[in-house]
């Protein structure tokens, strides 16, 4: 039997919009980790761990449901925190997000915040551009009942678990004790 374009096992069936959205949702959640890796002075293995563990975790979580968009919408609070962290990264360019940044923001006087209005506007715009389109795409995907195939989800689940295991083994290869 010759495989045609409509055969379910055709490689063209694997490259669907649902799979592209699946990886977009994971990338959106990884932005904060990638910002951390690019701004902080950490060993290469540390950068791999900081990248691989969340990647494996997100791939595993997003592959557990037929509609990966549902997880993105369930992670709305996490997305809001990511947008806030992007704002903090933009405002405090000097390093990782620390707890004292949240305290500084909550305890700063109102007249001090007025000086940062222009900086806030661009960072809020950046957060909106990064996180609102994937949320709208997720709503569209759920409304149209677009679902990942079991084969893609199974592959992603195994890949995610493998990435988590690799990221848990990597600390044993660091030079610092």
Against a cut of 0.85, is the pTM above it?
no
Structure tokens at 114: 């007025």
Confidence category of residue 111, pLDDT binned at 50, 70, 90 = low
Q: How does DSSP assign 123-160, residue by residue? A: HHHHHHHHHHHHHHHHHHHHHTT----HHHHHHHHHHH
Average pLDDT over residues 74-102: 72
More confident residue, 48 or 8: 48
Q: What is the pLDDT of residue 39?
A: 79
**Which run of H or E residues covers position 98?**
none
- Whether residue 59 is contained in a domain is answered as yes
CA distance linking residue 44 with residue 169, whole number of Å = 14
Instruction: Please state which of the ranges 6-15, 58-67, 101-110, 153-162 shows the lowest mean pLDDT.
Output: 6-15
Cα distances (Å, whole numbers) of residue 111 to 106, 115, 117: 13, 7, 10
Q: What is the pLDDT of residue 83?
A: 83
Indicate if the pLDDT at residue 112 is higher than 80: no
Average pLDDT over residues 67-93: 81
CA distance linking residue 97 with residue 106, whole number of Å = 15
- Whether residue 1 is contained in a domain is answered as no
Domain tally for the chain?
1
- Whether residue 135 is contained in a domain is answered as yes
First to last CA, the chain: 59
Number of H helices, E strands in the chain: 9, 0
Question: How many CB atoms within 10 Å of residue 147?
Answer: 18
Indicate if the pLDDT at residue 3 is higher than 50: no
- Whether residue 130 is contained in a domain is answered as yes
Q: What is the mean pLDDT of the chain?
A: 78
Residue 110: which domain range?
14-172
Of all residues in the chain, what percent carry a pLDDT higher than 90?
Answer: 15
Cα distances (Å, whole numbers) of residue 171 to 53, 56, 110, 168, 175: 12, 16, 44, 7, 9
Q: What is the pLDDT of residue 47?
A: 87
Half-sphere exposure of 41 (CA within 13 A, CB side): 1
- Whether residue 43 is contained in a domain is answered as yes
- Whether residue 160 is contained in a domain is answered as yes
Q: What is the pLDDT of residue 14?
A: 44
- Whether residue 177 is contained in a domain is answered as no
pLDDT tens for 13-71 read 444 688 888 888 999 989 888 888 887 778 888 889 889 999 999 999 989 888 888 88
The number of residues making up the chain comes to: 177
- Whether residue 56 is contained in a domain is answered as yes
């Amino acid at each position: 039997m010759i495989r045609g374009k409509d055969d379910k096992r055709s490689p063209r069936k694997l490259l669907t919009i649902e799979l592209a959205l699946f990886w977009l949702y994971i990338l959106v959640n990884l932005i904060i980790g990638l910002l951390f890796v690019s701004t902080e002075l950490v060993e290469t293995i540390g950068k791999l761990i900081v990248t691989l563990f969340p990647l494996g975790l997100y791939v595993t979580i997003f592959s557990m449901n037929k509609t990966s968009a549902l997880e993105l919408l369930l992670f709305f609070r996490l997305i809001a925190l990511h947008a806030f962290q992007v704002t903090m990264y933009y405002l405090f360019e000097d390093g990782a997000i620390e707890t004292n940044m949240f305290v500084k923001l909550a305890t700063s006087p109102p007249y001090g915040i007025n000086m940062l209005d222009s900086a806030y506007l661009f960072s809020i715009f950046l957060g909106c551009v990064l996180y609102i389109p994937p949320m709208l795409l997720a709503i569209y995907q759920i409304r149209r009942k677009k679902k990942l195939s079991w084969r893609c989800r199974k592959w992603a689940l195994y890949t995610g678990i493998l990435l988590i295991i690799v990221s848990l083994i990597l600390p044993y290869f660091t030079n610092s004790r």
